[in-house]
Amino acid sequence: MSDRIFFATAARGLEPLLVNELVSFGASEVHEKTGGVHFRGPLKVAMRACLWSRLASRILAPISEFNAETTDQLYEAVYQIDWRQQLRAGGSLAVDAHVAQSKIDHSRYALLRVKDAVVDQLREQTGQRPDVDLLTPDLRLNLYLFRNQATLSIDLSGSSLHRRGYRSDGLGAPLKENLAAAILLDCNWPQIHAAGGAFIDPMCGSGTLPLEAALIATDCAPGLLRDHFGFFGWQHFADQDWSDLLQEAEERKAEGLARCQPPFIGYDENSRAIRQAWEHARAAGVDRWLHFERRELALIEPPTTETGLLAINPPYGERLGDLAELPSLYNRLGEQMQAFPGWQAGVITSQVELGRAIGLRAHRRTPLYNGALKCQLLHFNLDETNHWKSLAAGTGRPVARKLSVEAEMLANRLRKNRKKLARWVKAEQLDCYRLYDADLPEFNLAIDLYGDEIHLQEYQAPKDIPPQKAERRVRDAVTALMQIFEVDQSSIHVKQRMRQKGKSQYQRQDQRGLFKEVSEGSLKFRVNLSDYLDTGLFLDHRLTRQLLQSLAAGTRFLNLFAYTGTASVYAAAGGALETTTVDMSRTYLDWARKNLALNGFDGPEHCLIQADCLAWIEQPQPEYDLIFLDPPTFSNSKGMKGTFDIQRDHVKLLRQVSELLAPEGVLIFSNNLRSFKMQTDQLPGLKIVEISARTLPPDFARNPRIHNCWRIEQA
């Protein structure tokens, strides 16, 4: 069969690893998308992926793409496919459907219409009605409907590929096999084992990590134990190719088992978990190469090998364990890890604070998702330079060396602020927020957290403060942050925020290009912590963006002076039919394009325009239902004619922009000039309501003049 396009689905965070894996299978034109990887190749490559992929969830073969705004359109498009080319007469069928941001908003109804179309056509053409078999159908279809665009695929995997075939009913919160394999591959386990390294999981549960480590080390195909794949009943199934793949896999397994050097060890305090781990090992056929034992964490010790890998999936405090008690557990784990000099370690956790409680320095962090839960895989070099730090009794914090009196004042305020905001931050699912904003007169700073990185802005000191004193206070602040958050100085990014003139706010300050992906609820954004004064995400506009999202359904959205397009992402997520993003900077427009694509909004309905906004609005433009206008306070950019002053020019600007509003349209206008006065009397015909207080998030409550905001409509 000639080459065709396939799509391998995977948990978020696994895409880069999956790209490398698919290339090793002989796939071509491999490129990643959020939640999976597109690739091209003959069917044999896709069957190899089903048999050998340790990371993919499903392998899909798209057979049709079409627009489906109604269930009738969906039915007709599916009915037009010649199903005799896909399913034998009398075969069985199942349909899965995933629907998002579409007029058809019920996945159950969508899959029933797909099923009806297939059944009706085959019954009319062959006289036989396919059976529905939800467990092991001859043909499993996968419908993906996003923004009314449908992709219908053959699911070649059948059931999810993480089901290797060795697991019985697990204990609470089991680690999926493909996530376990991703942890091992990201920790370079194949190379460590090839160099003679051993493997230990001191909290192994039902044994998933040691089992996957053994399967990788022995070159056992993860799908070799499965008795069914989705392509078995497909009309295009190549039986000889599959026989060849199975024979190759059996030969590689025999060779791998013969040359493999154990040990692969799993310890756990739960005796039931150990019994289940042995059952899984026997089912996988690798029990001779594994050792499971009930043993407390304090009693683990390295085998005779000098190198190896510790891979650990400790409780996160989500479903297992009490979060209040977990820091001490993680600290004990870090202490035991010190007994493995020369080894590597990988620990996955969803709580940044728990990672810090390990008391060792992680040299790398990989974002991964355990289901819907965002986690980090922490990588440790267990060498003589990585010293364990004990927790202060009862506090869950590493023991800190003594700070200066002023630095301790700041540290106490930071701890107080963090505790005050903790519940809100968790409820809002925020990676980034403002922790401190010149709360103490001695420390005229703004401190923002971006995951495990810290952005520190020093406000320009008054002329009566000696420069040496201001510099010392910044150093004190950095020291306090390092101790409170257990980070290296490289994770703290210091900027000086002086009064901005013209375009200086937007000019590059560095060339390191340190981009980081952060989350606000379900949305993701790229921030740059090194190169610019601002990071690309205005944290004080968080509620303003949420307001735009709540107003966006079914609208045509315009984002003027768009910066990195974060408002456009929120509008798209809120269901805007189209978005138009206008900014003069090519750099920021490219950034905005990446932010949109990061959230799956990369279609032609999302238009990005490089232009001087003041000149652009003077040209004939279409009407928009929702507009966000966030101009600079002052600008004399070389791309503009003359200068722009928000106080002087806002009346003319609002008149021009309001003319772009559709009937009953809404304009959200914001600026950051603290002394700004809205000239309402010069804007007749407009209904202007100030909403500044409503758009002030809790982390900026200490600074109510951080921005001004109005809702404007035609009167």
pLDDT tens for 286-326 read 999 999 999 988 888 888 888 999 999 998 755 444 455 67
* Ranges under pLDDT 70 in the chain: 1, 169-173, 317-325, 391-402, 462-464, 488-489, 497-514, 637-641
Is 704 found in the same domain as 657? yes
**Distances from the Cα of 384 to the Cαs of 321, 338, 360, 484, in angstroms?**
31, 9, 11, 23
Say which DSSP state 455 is in.
E
Got the DSSP string for 537-589? --GGGHHHHHHHHHH-TT-EEEEES-TT-HHHHHHHHTT-SEEEEEES-HHHH
Say which DSSP state 87 is in.
B
Q: What is the pLDDT of residue 381?
A: 93
Residue 440 lies in a domain: yes
Q: What is the pLDDT of residue 511?
A: 41
Is 204 found in the same domain as 64? no
Sorted by sequence, the CB contacts under 8 Å of residue 67 that are 6+ apart come out as 73, 77, 148, 149, 150
Half-sphere CA count of 53, side-chain side, radius 13 A? 36
Q: What is the pLDDT of residue 437?
A: 94
- 96: helix, strand or coil: strand
Residue 190 lies in a domain: yes
Q: What is the pLDDT of residue 319?
A: 40
Q: What are phi and psi of 297, to 5 degrees?
A: -55, -40
H helix or E strand, kind and range, residue 647: helix 646-658
Is 189 found in the same domain as 123? no
Half-sphere CA count of 106, side-chain side, radius 13 A? 6
H helix or E strand, kind and range, residue 594: helix 586-598
Is 414 found in the same domain as 306? no
Cis peptide before 303 (omega within 30 of 0): no
Residue 232 lies in a domain: no
Q: 455, 268, 269, 425: which is closest to 353 by C-alpha? A: 425
Residue 387 lies in a domain: no
- 107: helix, strand or coil: helix
CB atoms within 10 A of CB 161: 28
Residue 292 lies in a domain: yes
- Cα separation of 6 and 50, whole Å? 12
Is 415 found in the same domain as 337? no
Which CATH number fits the domain that encloses residue 27? 3.30.2130.30
Give me the number of domains the chain comprises: 4
- Cα separation of 136 and 377, whole Å? 35
Q: What is the pLDDT of residue 531?
A: 79
Residue 400 lies in a domain: no
Q: Which residue has the tokens 């940044």?
A: 352
Please name every residue paired with 523 in a beta bridge, in sequence order, or none if there are none. Answer: 520
Residue 395 lies in a domain: no
CB atoms within 10 A of CB 508: 12
Q: How open is the CA angle 511-639-658, to the nearest 5 degrees?
A: 115
Which CATH number fits the domain that encloses residue 454? 3.30.750.80
- Cα separation of 338 and 620, whole Å? 68
E strands, 621-701, where?
A: 624-629, 634-635, 644-645, 661-671, 686-690
Got the DSSP string for 17-77? HHHHHHHHTT-EEEEEETTEEEEEE-HHHHHHHHHH-SS-SEEEEEEEEEE-SSHHHHHHH
- Cα separation of 207 and 212, whole Å? 9
Is 378 found in the same domain as 328? yes
Q: What is the pLDDT of residue 331?
A: 87
pLDDT tens for 149-198 read 999 999 999 999 999 999 876 555 578 999 999 999 999 999 999 999 99
**Distances from the Cα of 49 to the Cαs of 28, 52, 140, 706, in angstroms?**
13, 5, 17, 53
Q: 476, 473, 478: which is closest to 455 by C-alpha? A: 478
Is 573 found in the same domain as 474? no
Please name every residue paired with 553 in a beta bridge, in sequence order, or none if there are none. Answer: none
What range defines the domain where residue 12 resides? 4-155
Is 295 found in the same domain as 410? no
Q: What is the pLDDT of residue 672?
A: 92
Is 462 found in the same domain as 370? no
Is 587 found in the same domain as 490? no
- Cα separation of 374 and 349, whole Å? 9
Residue 248 lies in a domain: no
H helix or E strand, kind and range, residue 374: strand 373-382
CB atoms within 10 A of CB 133: 15
What amino acid occupies position 401? R
Query: Is residue 124 packed enough to be buried (19+ CB in 10 Å), middle (13-18) or exposed (0-12)?
Result: exposed
Number of residues in the chain: 715
Q: What is the pLDDT of residue 389?
A: 74
Q: What is the pLDDT of residue 374?
A: 86
Which CATH number fits the domain that encloses residue 336? 3.40.50.150
Is 545 found in the same domain as 411? no
Is 618 found in the same domain as 676? yes
- Cα separation of 163 and 176, whole Å? 8
